[in-house]
Amino acid sequence: MTDDNGQFSTAANRRRFLKYLAGSGAVALSGHGELANALEAPNRLPDPMVWAPRDLDHLITTPKEAINVFDFEPVMHKNVPPAHFGYMASGIDDEVSLRANREGFLKYQLRPRRLVDVSKVDMSMEIFGQKYDTPIMLAPTGGHRGYHPDGEIATAKGAKSGNHAMIVSTQMSYPIEDITAARGAPLWFQLYATNKFEVAKHHVERAEKAGCVAVAVTVDRSGGRNQETLFRMQRTDTRTCSDCHEPGAKNGQMAQPKSPMYDGVDVSGLANIQASAMTWDYLKRIRDATKMKCVIKGILSAEDAKLAADNGYDAIIVSNHGGRADEAGSSTIETLPEVIAAVGGRMPVLIDSGFRRGTDVVKALAMGATGVAVGRPYLWGLGAFGEAGVTRVLELLRIELMAAMQQAGAPTVRALVPGMVRHV
């Protein structure tokens, strides 16, 4: 059996053969075709696509065909060069944290309240003087042009369609000014500070000049990372990487990055974008260098959450970098309660890493999060269909969130309270 492109389909032929065996009596069955039916059901895929069952012989061809965000991932896999897909998909080492982010949601159950009027649902979120139609934010992810030629411009237009807050990465592939124009509203800027304060100051000043309302300082990139999925997929990529990427560091100097954020800044003395020397004093210097709201992204402990509040930061993003910064092994949803308790209401607490469903978002909001940021899902949409894919991914998440809020008995985000979630 071949697929629609005339290629031999091993999976399809295996299913067809085993179904024949089951139906012919050559295989003993315990019931009426259970084995055949099971074989017809798509299995979970091996790495790097592990999140949902799907049939690779029948990929969606338009965004509207998608019934959940997972439908976009195999289409992106087909469209995007292997090394680029591997970079997006990879975690660290055995990818324990990557999987923990999804599995963590299974440890929490919703406790819905009944007989509440949810005929009208207000999903809006207000933060830092800006109002958004939804608490679902776009987490910062780098290099969008590696997934689609329109890159962050397409992503920003997708975010605009649903009035989502968007955090743009230092490693953006279009100028921040152009992305802001495409979004039609102020962005948040995610900062890779590096060990050179002059670089951080340059980035912060440019972001503020571009109209950003907040800077989210990433604090979980203090060392190297072993991205094995990326390394394996790089070996299957036949392109010449230097056609798109600058060479690596030479003589201890960081080669000029492709990101436009580095235009006009001296990166001499830097071998990478890690911030291995960053301390609370460094963060104070960043806070003092801008009038933007200052956020810390990457907090995973009550101790650091309290210090963030004590040091005058305006918000926290509970994050493990989507499982791609280190292999700590815990999920962010499991970390959220201790961070919220440590902050004691002194600042908003946001969260990212592993969010794929409306019920995931509801659990975090009920536990006290102000907003929830998603990353890989909208990249799947971008790599699959460009702007239209991003728009549809975010639309599906909003649809699921509304249904989950109605079922929980919450007509507003504020009506989602801790009593609606239990740990099991």
Catalytic residue positions, numbered: 321
Q: What are the distances in angstroms from CA 15 to CA 3, 54, 212, 415? A: 14, 14, 53, 48
Residues 363, 336: Cα–Cα separation, whole Å: 11
Residue from 150, 159, 49, 35 nearest 102 by CA: 49
Rounded Cα distance, 197 and 267, in Å: 10
Nearest to 338 by CA among 301, 374, 368: 301
Q: What are 115's two structure tokens?
A: 């007989």
Cα 296 to Cα 219: distance, rounded to the nearest angstrom: 7
Of 127, 108, 122, 115, nearest to 405 (Cα)? 122
Q: Give how far Cα 22 sits from Cα of 13, 33, 44, Å.
A: 14, 7, 22
Contact (CB, 8 A) for 352 and 61: no
Cis? peptide before 48, omega within 30° of 0: yes
